[in-house]
Structure 1
Amino acid sequence: MTLSSAQQPGLFIAFEGGDGAGKSTQAALLTQAMSDAGRTVLRTREPGGTPVGEKLRSLVLEHGQGEIDAKTEALIFAAARAAHATQVIAPAVARGEIVISDRYADSSIAYQGAGRGLGTEAIVKLNDWATSGLWPDLTVLLDVSPAEGRERRTAGDAAEDRMESEPDDFHATIRAAFLELAQANPQRYLVLPADGAVSELAQVIRDRINALLGTA
C-alpha cells in the first residue's frame, strides 16, 4: 500500500554555502528526484518564499536601496524568515511534504553573525525566535572557495547582487563560519565539495535523503 503525503513523514532540507556554490542546481535536481519517487515536494528560497519575503529580498539584495547597516540587514533577513517558516515551511512539513530551501537560518549565522561581526550566538537566538525553533532536518553545505564562487557568479554577463559583490575576504569569513557550523552539528550537516561532478554530488545527496526517509 502506498502512503498518502499526509501519512508520510515530512522533511525539511536546506542548501547552504557561499555564493556560486551550486545550491540552486542541486536543489532543482533533488526536487526532481523526490518528485519522481512519488513525494510531494515544495521548493523554495530565502530570502523569499512568501509575498512579503520576496519584497524584503529585493530590499536587501538589490543595489541602490541606500545604506543598510548590519543590524538592519540581520533583522530584514529574520523578518523574511519568520514569514517563510510560519506560513510556508512548517505547514508543508506537517502535511508530509519534503521542503527544499535554497538557504535558511545558517546563512544569517554565517553572513550577519560572522561576516558582519554581529556574533553568531546573537544571530542564532534571533532566528530561533523568529522561526519558533524550526531548523532543517538536513543541511547540505556545498563548500566553495571565494575565488571559485566569484568565477562562477560572474560567468558570462551575470551581475553580482549586493551580498555577492562583497570582497573575497568577506566570503572567506563566510566559508569558515559555515564549516564551523557543520563541525559543531555533524548530525544535521552533509558537507560536499562544490567542485565535484554535479551528478555525483546529486547522488550522494539523494542517498542521504533516502536514509533519512528510511527508503535507502
Structure 2
Amino acid sequence: MTANAPTTPEPGKVISFVGGDGAGKSTLATRLRQALNDAGHKAILVSKHSADVPRDPELSAYLDRLNELVYRRDARVAKACGDHYWLLALASWYTLQDRLVVRPAVAAGTYVVLDNAHHKILARYAVNPEVPTRLAEQVFAHLTEPDVVFFLNIGAREALARKGSYTSLETGHSGGDDEDFIRYQDTVLNQMRKQAASGAWLSLDVAEMNRDQVFKAASAALADRLHLAF
C-alpha cells in the first residue's frame, strides 16, 4: 500500500493592529489571539519583543540580542545614534522577525496576530523632516503584507486619559508635558488616517467604546473578513 502523501496546510493569515500610543492595540491583539485559539484556530501573538524562533535556540538568542539593541537601549545612546540609524535598525528587527517568525508560522497554517506592526513607524517617519519618507517606505516594503489591518482610531487626548503616562519617544522628543504628547500623537495619527484611507483597513472608532465593545466589534469584523467562526 502506498502511503498517503503529506498534505500542505492552508496558509495562515496575518492580522495586524495600527493606532496611536494608548489606543488599546495590545489589549485587543491579546484577546483576539486567545479567542482564535479558543475557537480551534491555531494562532500566535507576535509583538515588538517576540524573539522566540520555534525549535531554534541559537536564532532565538540572536533575535533577542537584536531586540535588546533596538528596544531596550539606553536613552542617551538612542539620541546619539540619530534617526537614520534607528530607521535601519528597526528595519533589521522587523526583517528578521518577519523571516524567522511570521513567514514560517503562516506557511504552517497559523494565524499571526501582529501587535505593533511597522505602519506606526512609517507614520512617525512621515512627520520627521530629517528622513525622506520614501526611504522609510522602501526599507519596510518587503515585509509580509497583512491580510487584515485594524486601525483603532482615537484622538491623542482621549488616548492619554487611558494611558496615563508616556515616554519621550511618544512625544517625538519634542518636550515632556501632556500637550507635547497630544500635539505629536495627533500629527502621527493624521498620517495613519491617510494610510487607512488609501488601504483596505478595518477602521474602528474606539473613543466611546469600552474594551468589551471594541473586542466584539473587532471579532465580528474579523469573522466577516476571513469567514471565521468564533
TM range (shorter): 0.7 to 0.9
Of 51, 56, 78, the residue aligned with 2:91 is 78
Per-residue CA shift, 1:80-111, capped at 9, x if unaligned? 10111101111101111111111112112101
Root-mean-square deviation (CA), in Å?
A: 2.2
Residues 115, 170 of structure 1: 8 Å contact kept: no
Q: Which secondary structure does the structure 2 equivalent of 1:14 belong to?
A: strand
Map of 2:119 onto structure 1: 106
The question of 1:179 aligning with 2:193 is answered yes
- Aligned to 1:38, the other structure's residue is in SS state coil
Q: Tell me, in whole angstroms, the C-alpha distance in 2 between the residues paired with 1:207 and 1:117.
A: 41
1:65 lines up with 2:77 in the alignment: yes
Partner residue, 1:26: 28
Moved more, 168-177 or 79-88: 168-177
How far the C-alpha of 1:48 sits from its partner, in A, is 4.9
Shift of residue 116, structure 1, vs aligned partner? 5.3
Q: Quote how far apart the aligned CAs of 1:213 are.
A: 2.9
**In structure 1, what is the Cα distance between the partners aligned to 2:25 and 2:102?**
18
TM-score by length of 1: 0.83
Q: Give yes or no for contact 1:27–1:43 (8 Å, CA) kept in 2.
A: yes
Kindly state the Cα deviation for residue 45 of structure 1 after the two structures are TM-superposed.
1.0
Equivalence map 1:194-205=2 (5 Å) = 194-195=206-207, 196-205=209-218
The answer to whether the 8 A contact 2:9-2:107 is kept is: no
Question: What is the aligned partner in structure 1 of residue 202 from structure 2?
Answer: 190
Which residue of the other structure, out of 149, 157, 162, is the alignment partner of 1:147? 157
* Structure 1: distance between partners of 2:48 and 2:126: 17
In structure 2, relative to structure 1, the CA distance for the partners of 1:117 and 1:175 (3 Å cut) is: farther
TM-aligned CA distance change 1:119 to 1:202, over 3 Å = farther
Q: Say which one has the larger Rg.
A: 2
Give the direction of change, closer, same or farther, for the CA distance of 1:13–1:193 in structure 2 (3 Å limit): same
Alignment of 1:3-18 (within 5 A): 7-18=9-20
Aligned to 2:141, the other structure's residue is in SS state helix
Match of 1:164 in 2: 170
Identity %: 22
Q: What amino acid is the match of 2:169?
A: M
Aligned CA distance change for structure 1 residues 110 and 66 (closer, same or farther; 3 Å): closer
CA 1:53/1:151 → structure 2, altered by over 3 Å: closer, same or farther?
farther
TM superposition shift of 1:53: 4.4
Gaps of 5+ in 1: none
In structure 1, how many angstroms separate the alpha carbons of the residues matched to 2:111 and 2:16?
11
What amino acid does structure 1 have at the position aligned with 2:109? G
User: Which residue of the partner structure matches residue 147 of structure 2?
Assistant: 137
Q: Deviations over 1:164-216 (max 9, x none)?
A: 2432322111100000000000x2x1111232222122122112222233235
TM-score (norm 2): 0.78
Contact 1:145 1:172 in 2 (8 A): yes
